[in-house]
Homo-oligomer: A and B are copies of this chain.
């Protein structure tokens, strides 16, 4: 990641602010506020604003559930209770805003999470920089024949080099032609100021999907956790997971109690179906169950065994 002089100055200016406020503040989050945390080869994640902390969740839950919530004596106990029972609205009382730089094909996955506010850099009005994502050799991977959705055997050596070469050349060439179309140099020789260039809104179609874009993305804590649950997961594409992991760490700094409950109940937890519960109950009683009598498909059976680390029972 390389910041422009302008960006570096903007961050420095933002970080040097010393404002007084009566709002709740989170020193651990303030300490990384505005900082550009690197993601992939050219991307970054910056926390640029936030509202609330763990106490804001407790405050709104107590207004809702009133005296009932006083039975749960501690804030941590209450937050865990809310998480366990899927109470959603108290977690919506915290809000965070990120500035993110990311490849377009990842932005397209990300935007599917609709309950968020977004302002993206517009290639209709502005010119994109010559920056595109190239996987590291380590992450360049062959699609596994078992799981066609993930990556299996790693592409190595010569083959990796060839792939990276191709990606790099194509991105550079399409970018150069994008720039040329914009810059009106169609007479094959020199820049001709009298010649019109192609509209930005059209020229951009020549760029490849690994070109970097950027946006401000603002959401509440509930929807952020929904996002992270899916995108910080091992089934998520590596490239979006890199961003999700950085953001997960900002959640830890921001709302540490909620973070713990989230890791325990959502990220580390599992859902068991009615049929699955019946099987687990038999296991506990020492009874025998096999897949044929379980009512589960092979895939579902194996997912259940794996969730409880019963690898020897996989079929």
**A residues whose Cβ falls under 8 Å from a Cβ of B:** 14-15, 17-25, 30, 33-34, 49-52, 56, 59-61, 63-69, 71, 77, 80-81, 84, 86, 89-90, 92-93, 95, 97, 99, 103-105, 107-109, 111-112, 114-115, 117-127, 133, 135, 140-145, 148-153, 155, 158-159, 162-163, 166-167, 170-171, 173-174, 177, 180-182, 186-187, 195-202, 204-210, 214-216, 218, 220, 230, 237, 263-265, 267-277, 280-281, 283-284, 286, 297, 299-300, 303, 307-310
A24 contacts B49, C-beta separation under 8 Å: yes
Output the nearest chain B residue to A19 by Cβ-Cβ distance. Answer: B25
CB < 8 Å: which of B33, B92, B167, B303 contacts A206? B167
B104 contacts A209, C-beta separation under 8 Å: yes
Instruction: Report whether over half of chain A's contact residues are helix, strand or loop; otherwise say mixed.
Output: mixed
B89 contacts A118, C-beta separation under 8 Å: yes
Copies of chain A in the complex: 4
29 contacts between A and B (CB under 8 A): A17-B23, A17-B24, A18-B20, A19-B23, A20-B20, A49-B56, A60-B119, A64-B120, A65-B126, A66-B121, A68-B126, A77-B297, A80-B300, A86-B230, A89-B112, A92-B218, A105-B204, A105-B205, A111-B111, A149-B201, A150-B199, A166-B181, A170-B173, A171-B206, A174-B174, A206-B210, A264-B274, A277-B307, A277-B309
CB < 8 Å: which of B30, B93, B200 contacts A21? B30
B297 contacts A310, C-beta separation under 8 Å: no
Question: A133-B205, A186-B159, A196-B152 given as contacts; is B52 within 8 A of A23 (CB)?
Answer: no
Question: A23-B33, A269-B273 given as contacts; is B205 within 8 A of A126 (CB)?
Answer: no
Question: Within 8 Å CB of A274, what residues of B?
Answer: 263-265, 267-269
